[in-house]
Amino acid sequence: QILEARAASLVFPRHFVFGAATAAYQTEGAPDADGKGESIWDRFCRRPDAIVDGSSGDIACDSYYRWKDDIAVLGALGLGAYRFSFAWTRLLPTGRGAPNTKGIAFYDRLIDDLLEAGIEPYATLYHWDLPQTLQDAGGWYNRDTADALAEYAALAARSFGDRVKKWTTLNEPWTFCWSGHATGEDAPGLSDGAKGGIVASHHALLGHGKAVPAIRAEVANASVGIVLDLNVAEPASDDQRDAAAAQRFDGAQNRWYLDAVFKGAYPQDMLELYGGLLPSIHAEDNALIAAPIDYLGVNIYRRSVIAAGDELAPISYRRVQPEGSYSAVGYEIWPRSMYDVLGYVNDHYAPKEIYISENGVATRPEQIGADGHVWDELRAAYYVDHLEQVTKAAADGVPVRGYFAWTLMDNFEWAYGYTTPFGITHVDFQTQRRTVKYSGKVYAMIAARRA
Ligand code: PNW
Angstrom distances, CA of residue 382 to CA of 198, 362, 375: 33, 10, 13
- Residue 244: how many CB atoms within 10 A of its CB? 16
Separation between Cα atoms, residue 14 and residue 50, nearest integer Å: 45
26 marked among binding-site residues: yes
In this structure, are strands 317-320 and 354-358 parallel, antiparallel, or unpaired? unpaired
360 Cα–ligand 1 center, Å: 9
* Separate counts of helices (H) and strands (E) for the chain: 17, 13
Give residue ranges with CB within 6 A of ligand 1: 23, 26, 171-172, 175, 229, 299, 301-302, 331, 358, 406, 413-414, 422
Mean pLDDT of each 10-residue bin along the chain, 451 residues long? 93 96 99 98 98 98 98 98 99 98 98 98 99 99 98 98 99 98 98 98 99 98 98 97 98 98 98 98 97 98 97 98 95 97 98 98 97 97 98 98 98 98 98 98 92 46
Among residues 38, 172, 234, 332, the one annotated as catalytic is: 172
- 323 as an active site residue: the answer is no
> Residue 442, Cβ neighbours under 10 Å: how many?
24
Residue 309 has phi, psi (to 5 degrees) of -175, -165
ipTM: 0.89
**The pLDDT value given to residue 294:** 98
Neighbour count for residue 55 (Cβ, 10 Å):
17
Q: Report the first-to-last Cα separation within the chain, whole angstroms.
A: 22
The answer to whether the beta carbons of residues 84 and 28 sit under 8 Å apart is no
Is residue 218 part of the annotated active site? The answer reads no
DSSP H or E run through 121: strand 120-126
Crossing angle (nearest 10°) for helices 173-181 and 256-263:
140
* Contact predicate 77/436, CB 8 Å: yes
The 3-class SS string of 288-313 reads HHCCCCCEEEEECCCCEEEEEEEECC
Q: How far is the CA of 414 from the centre of ligand 1 (A)?
A: 9
Question: Which residue's alpha carbon is at the smallest distance from atom 7 of ligand 1?
Answer: 23
Q: Residue 24: how many CB atoms within 10 A of its CB?
A: 26
Distance of alpha carbon 255 from alpha carbon 315, whole angstroms:
13
Separation between Cα atoms, residue 408 and residue 20, nearest integer Å: 5
Other CB atoms within a 10 A radius of the CB of residue 282 amount to 11
Question: How distant, in Å, are the alpha carbons of 55, 96, 254, 273, 354 from that of 266?
Answer: 38, 29, 11, 12, 21
Q: Is 406 annotated as a binding residue?
A: yes
Residue type at position 437: K
Determine if residue 171 is labeled as part of a ligand binding site. yes
Which helix (H) or strand (E) segment holds residue 84: the answer is strand 81-85
Span from the CA of 371 to the centroid of ligand 1 (angstroms): 32
* Ligand 1 atom nearest residue 302's Cα: 17
pLDDT for 451 equals 46
Q: Is 127 annotated as a binding residue?
A: yes
- Look at residue 449 in the predicted model and tell me its pLDDT: 83
**DSSP state, residue 232:** P
What spacing in Å lies between the alpha carbon of 304 and ligand 1's midpoint?
Answer: 14
In 364-401, which positions are buried (b, 16+ CB within 10 angstroms) versus exposed (e)?
Answer: eebeeeeeeebebeebbbbbbbbbbbbbebbeeebbbb
Q: Which residues, in sequence order, are CB contacts of 430 under 8 Å at separation 6+?
A: none
SS3 69: helix
Residue 228 has a pLDDT of: 99
The verdict on whether residue 301 carries a ligand-binding annotation is yes
Measured in angstroms, how far is the CA atom of residue 413 from the centroid of ligand 1?
9
Q: What is the largest CA-CA distance in the chain?
A: 64
- Dump the DSSP string for 171-212: E-HHHHHHHHHTS-SSTT----HHHHHHHHHHHHHHHHHHHH
The answer to whether the beta carbons of residues 161 and 215 sit under 8 Å apart is: yes
Q: What is the pLDDT of residue 174?
A: 98
Alpha-carbon span 203 to 411, nearest angstrom: 29
* Antiparallel, parallel or unpaired: β 233-235 and 295-299: unpaired
Q: How many CA atoms lie less than 13 Å away from 30 in the CB half-sphere?
A: 20
Among 38, 234, 332, 358, the one annotated catalytic: 358
Contact 259, 265 (CB under 8 A): yes
